[in-house]
């Protein structure tokens, strides 16, 4: 089946997201080694986004076979009516998903340890969410090595810690 | 007007495959398929890949649902919560994914 038709017939599930996150991260490492920094950071942002969405949806009761689009709509409904509500900039708003994770854990009576919550905010809300934007695909950003290494550090943190968000 | 909860009925094919997968998972027979691969990561998370020709006509979502429904029957709740990937593949797809399963 041609790719476009396959994608349409098989909307992404959480399982797809985890496999894709690992793939994008690995590809970003290759781009870093090749000194292709714009592409590297671009992919790292998506990888982190997928691990974050996976965490939030899982905390919201989503199983590995959950269709991401449907699960995100359900999550958005819940967060928009929460008190106080949590609003998103767009569907790539990493800080929004950080807040979703924190709220869902609080609601479940399992708040993250404070030092871990602080790390999460530093690495993602104050880190990758500041230094990455989907719109970078349409422009040359001329990022430098240190930019890419910083983003790699943020994304690596997410890669190695996302399971702690859902346990 | 009464409000009733409704969930879409699953195709009979899906129920049959769920029964079969749960049975294979519990009894671990010598059948050629389905092949159930459980990968446990360092942090105890489990990835489940099931390679099976019989579900070629089903979507990835339906296959994942079959895996999780079968897992609910053969795993404890704690084990179930550790499954983060439930990926159903046909033999061709598994080969394309680079999964060693034969």
* Partners of residue A11 in chain B, C-beta under 8 Å: 61
pLDDT band at B9 (very low <50, low <70, confident <90, very high): confident
Nearest chain B residue to A161 by CA distance is: B43
Residue B2 has pLDDT above 90, yes or no: no
The pLDDT of A82-95, averaged and rounded, is: 93
Q: Rounded to an integer, what distance in angstroms lies between the CA atom of residue A39 and that of residue A136?
A: 9
DSSP state of B62: H
- Dihedrals phi, psi of B44, to nearest 5 degrees: 85, 0
Nearest CA to CA, how far is A82 from chain B (Å)? 23
pLDDT at residue A53, rounded to an integer: 98
User: Tokens standing for B50?
Assistant: 């099931």
pLDDT at residue A21, rounded to an integer: 98
Nearest chain B residue to A67 by CA distance is: B61
B59 contact A CB<8A: yes
Nearest CA to CA, how far is A64 from chain B (Å)? 6
Domains of chain A: 13-166 (1.20.120)
B86 contact A CB<8A: yes
Residue A98 has pLDDT above 80, yes or no: yes
Mean pLDDT in chain A? 96
pLDDT at residue B10, rounded to an integer: 76
Q: How many Cβ atoms sit within 10 Å of the Cβ of residue A41?
A: 27
Q: Output Rg (C-alpha) for chain B, integer angstroms.
A: 15
Q: What is the DSSP string of chain A?
A: --HHHHHHHS--BHHHHHHHHHHHHHHHHHHHHTT-HHHHHHHHHHHHHHHHHHHHHHHTT--TT-BHHHHHHHHHHHHHSSSS----SSTT-HHHHHHHHHHHHHHTT-PPPHHHHHHHIIIIIIIIHHH--GGGGGS-----HHHHHHHHHHHHHHHHHHHHHH-
Q: Rounded to an integer, what distance in angstroms lies between the CA atom of residue A82 and that of residue A95?
A: 17
**Pairs of CB atoms within 8 A across A/B:** 46
pLDDT band at A167 (very low <50, low <70, confident <90, very high): confident
Helix axes A14-33, B60-74, angle to 10 degrees: 110
pLDDT at residue B13, rounded to an integer: 87
Q: How many Cβ atoms sit within 10 Å of the Cβ of residue A33?
A: 9
The pLDDT of A96-109, averaged and rounded, is: 97
Residue A79 has pLDDT above 80, yes or no: yes
Mean pLDDT in chain B? 92
The pLDDT of A98-115, averaged and rounded, is: 97
Nearest CA to CA, how far is A145 from chain B (Å)? 30
Contact assignment for A63 to B86 by CB distance below 8 Å: yes
The pLDDT of B19-43, averaged and rounded, is: 92
Percent of chain B with pLDDT over 90: 78
pLDDT band at B6 (very low <50, low <70, confident <90, very high): confident
Mutate to test the interface with A, among B21, B42, B60 (most CBs of A within 10 A): B60
Nearest Cα to Cα of residue A14 among A44, A58, A76: A58
Domains of chain B: 12-96 (3.30.300)
- Tokens 């429904």 locate to B69
User: Tokens standing for B70?
Assistant: 């079968």
Q: For A127-160, write each residue's pLDDT tens digit.
A: 999 999 999 999 999 999 999 999 999 999 999 9
pLDDT at residue A83, rounded to an integer: 86
Q: For A28-74, write each residue's pLDDT tens digit.
A: 999 999 999 999 999 999 999 999 999 999 999 999 999 999 999 99
């Amino acid at each position: 089946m041609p790719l476009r038709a396959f994608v349409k017939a098989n909307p992404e599930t959480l399982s797809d997201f985890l496999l894709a996150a690992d793939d994008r991260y690995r590809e970003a490492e290759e781009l870093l080694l090749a000194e292709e920094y714009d592409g590297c950071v671009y992919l790292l942002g998506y990888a982190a986004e997928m691990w974050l969405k996976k965490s939030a949806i899982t905390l919201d009761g989503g199983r590995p076979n959950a269709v991401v689009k449907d699960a995100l709509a359900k999550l958005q409904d819940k967060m928009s009516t929460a008190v106080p509500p949590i609003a998103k900039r767009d569907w790539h708003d990493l800080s929004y998903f950080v807040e979703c994770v924190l709220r869902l854990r609080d609601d479940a009576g399992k708040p993250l340890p404070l030092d871990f919550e602080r790390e999460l905010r530093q690495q993602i809300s104050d880190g990758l969410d500041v230094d990455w934007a989907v719109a970078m695909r349409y422009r040359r950003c001329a990022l430098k090595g240190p930019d890419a290494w910083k983003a790699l550090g943020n994304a690596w943190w997410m890669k190695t810690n996302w399971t702690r968000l859902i346990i | 007007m009464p409000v009733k909860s409704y969930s879409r009925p699953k195709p009979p094919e899906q129920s049959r495959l769920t029964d079969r997968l749960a049975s294979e998972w519990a009894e671990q027979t010598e059948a050629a398929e389905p092949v159930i691969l459980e990968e446990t990561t360092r942090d105890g998370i489990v990835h489940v890949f099931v390679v099976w020709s019989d579900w070629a006509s089903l979507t990835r979502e339906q296959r994942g649902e079959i895996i999780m429904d079968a897992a609910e029957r053969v795993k404890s709740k704690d084990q179930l919560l550790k499954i983060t990937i439930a990926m159903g593949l046909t033999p061709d797809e598994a080969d394309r994914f680079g999964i060693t399963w034969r």
